[in-house]
Amino acid sequence: MTTRVVGVGNGGISRTVLITGVSKGIGRALALELANLGHSVIGCSRSQDNLISLQSQLPNHLFLTADIKSNTSVQDLARIVMDQRGVPDIIVNNAGTINKNNKIWEVPEEEFDIVIDTNLKGTANVLRHFIPLMITNNKKQGGGGIIVNMSSGWGRSGASLVAPYCASKWAVEGLTKSVAKELPEGMAIIALNPGVINTDMLTSCFGTSAALYQTPEAWASKAATMILNLRAADNGASLTV
C-alpha cells in the first residue's frame, strides 16, 4: 500500500475519528496522537474515571460512557454522537478483552462469553448503528467513510491458552471481509493487526516480559499515520501496523 500522508500537520484535512475502548492502552494513545495531529476525537469506554482523566487532557474532544456489548448502549452512543459531532469520518473498533491464560475446557462460560460479546458482538453493534449513518454521508459527499476493526496476529494464527481470544479475532477478520462486500463504493472496512504492544492485555498473557515490547505511545505514532492514510481501495484488506 502506498503511503499517503494526510494528517493536518502535513497539509491534510481534519478528520473526525471515533475510537471505542479509548480509556487505556492503545485506544488512549491513539486518541492523544490523533488529537495532537489536529483531528477531532470521539471516544467511548465503560470506565467513567478514565474518561474523565482523558477529557481533562483533551477538553475540546468528546468522550462518552458506553458499553459496546450492549446494543442499546451503542444505539444511544450513535444518537449522541450524531447530535453533537455528526457522522465520524473514521471509526476504530478498538475495544477488546482477553481471557486469562487457560485451556479452553478450563475457561469459565462467563469469561468466554465476555470475550466474544466484547470483541465480536461489540464490533457488530458499532457497525449496526454507524454504518447506515456513514452510508448516508457517503452518498451526500460522493464518497468517504473508513472503518478499522482491530484484529490481532492471533486472528490469523492460533495460540495456546487464549483460544477464546483467537476465535473472536478470527471472527473479526471474517466479519470484516464479509462486510467489505456489502459497503457501497467509496467506503472501506479494514481488519488491522496492531502488532505486539506492552498493554495490560499483553501482560495478562506474557507476564513481566510484556515490558520488552513497544509502548502504546510509540505504536500510536505509526498507527495514526497508517489509519489516516487508509482509502476506499483498501476495502476488505487485512493489514498490520
Residues acting as catalytic residues: 165
* 192 alpha-carbon distance from chain centroid: 9
6 phi and psi, to 5 degrees? Answer: -125, 10
Which residues are bridge partners to 93 per DSSP? 149
Distance CA(117)–CA(164), nearest Å, equals 11
Could you tell me the three cell numbers for 44?
467511548
**CA distance from start to end of the chain:** 12
Looking up cell 484484529 gives 151
Distance CA(18)–CA(147), nearest Å, equals 9
